[in-house]
């Protein structure tokens, strides 16, 4: 009798069977420690923006000359200023002023840049040439210098500062969004919408604008950090919020006169401005790497 030969399953078949039987695991990308710290600091700023009164241990405007120039300690975490006001409370309340300026300025910059970008990208060669030259003229002036000129015209205050910083940031957003619109215009789905006979308005709303907004989240995050720095610079130059408003740039300017006797008055506002800019940059870069296609990196 001939022996029945049975071929044992190969390792490849075993691995394939195991791979089929084993449920797929959800892969969660590991976050870098720097991103985690930046996100934690951003959440703290968000809490200070929404409800500073719940976090601040004291009235940021309460003057107490007897406690002037108190160094950092348990009673006053960041010390007191020349008027005896609690620096930690003023920084928390200053977050509301500085961050609102950043948010409003970024909204103005993005909307203005979107309008110019759409006109340049969709208006044809002549519109693109004229709009591009206009953007180049605006780029001839540094954004902060343009904001400085505008704040002189508009006057001091939180609102004028937000408008000035927002207008000063429009050229940067316009150039980025123009390139994005031109890239979307050459994509396959826009060509398909043309072939289907969609009207220009429908193509704009259904395909161009949604796909142009793809990098917007990262742009907004980076823009808020930049706007906060610019607004603080204007406050430091005496062109920001009116005293005694708790605003980081104004607080930094107040502290420079007492740097020899009370270093903390200028140090902590400057530290918070720096950490805000670094956190916004780290989060924005992280969002860019997550949302950009691999071919664009």
pLDDT tens for each residue of 29-45: 556 888 999 999 999 99
Assigned token pair, 140: 């001839």
Do the Cβ atoms of 255 and 262 come closer than 8 Å?
yes
Residues 79, 90: Cα–Cα separation, whole Å: 11
When pLDDT is averaged across residues 55-81 and rounded to a whole number, the result is 95
Report pLDDT for 290: 78
Query: Which pLDDT score, from 0 to 100, does residue 138 have?
Result: 85
Quick one: pLDDT band at residue 27, thresholds 50, 70, 90?
Answer: very low
Closest CA to 95 of 53, 57, 151, 154: 53
Domains of the chain: 37-42+75-291 (1.10.3720.10)
Q: What is the pTM of this model?
A: 0.80
| Of 242, 239, 224, 220, nearest in space to 45 by CA | 224
pLDDT, tens digit (0-9, with 9 covering 90-100), for 135-157: 888 888 888 888 888 988 988 88
Return the minimum-mean-pLDDT range out of 92-96, 167-171, 293-297.
Answer: 293-297
- Could you give phi then psi for residue 64, rounded to 5 degrees? -140, 85
Q: 183-192: list long-range contacts, CB under 8 Å, 24+ apart.
A: 184/121, 184/208, 184/211, 184/212, 185/121, 185/122, 187/211
pLDDT attached to residue 187: 75
Tell me, what's the pLDDT at 145? 87
The stretch 209-229 carries a mean pLDDT of 85
How far is residue 39 CA from its own chain's centroid? Answer: 12
Higher pLDDT, 12 or 113: 113
The pLDDT confidence band at residue 165, using thresholds 50, 70 and 90, is very high
Give the mean pLDDT of 85-111.
94
Q: Which residues pair with 125 in a beta bridge?
A: none
């Amino acid at each position: 009798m001939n022996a029945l030969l049975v071929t044992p399953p190969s390792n490849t078949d075993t691995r394939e069977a195991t791979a089929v039987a084993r449920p797929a695991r959800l892969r969660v990308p590991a976050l870098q420690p720097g991103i985690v710290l930046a996100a934690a600091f951003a959440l703290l700023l968000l809490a200070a923006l929404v409800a500073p009164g719940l976090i601040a241990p004291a009235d940021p405007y309460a003057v107490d000359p007897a406690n002037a120039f108190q160094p950092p300690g348990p009673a006053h975490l960041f010390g007191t200023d020349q008027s005896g006001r609690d620096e930690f409370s003023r920084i928390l309340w200053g977050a509301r002023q500085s961050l609102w300026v950043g948010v409003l300025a970024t909204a103005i910059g993005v909307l203005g840049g979107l309008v110019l970008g759409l006109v340049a990208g969709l208006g044809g060669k002549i519109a693109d040439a004229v709009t591009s030259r206009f953007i180049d003229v605006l780029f001839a002036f540094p954004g902060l210098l343009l904001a400085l000129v505008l704040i002189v015209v508009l006057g001091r205050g939180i609102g004028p500062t937000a408008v000035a910083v927002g207008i000063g940031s429009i050229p940067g957003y316009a150039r980025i969004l123009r390139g994005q619109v031109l890239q979307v215009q050459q994509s396959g789905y826009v060509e398909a919408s043309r072939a289907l006979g969609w009207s220009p308005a429908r193509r704009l709303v259904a395909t161009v604008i949604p796909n142009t907004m793809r990098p917007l989240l990262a742009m907004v995050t980076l823009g808020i950090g930049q706007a906060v720095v610019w607004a603080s610079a204007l406050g430091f130059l005496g062109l920001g919020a009116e005293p005694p408003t708790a605003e980081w740039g104004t607080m930094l300017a107040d502290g420079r006169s007492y740097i020899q006797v009370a270093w903390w008055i200028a140090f902590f506002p400057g530290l918070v401005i720096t950490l805000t800019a670094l956190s916004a940059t780290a989060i924005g870069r992280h969002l860019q790497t997550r949302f950009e296609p691999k071919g664009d990196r």
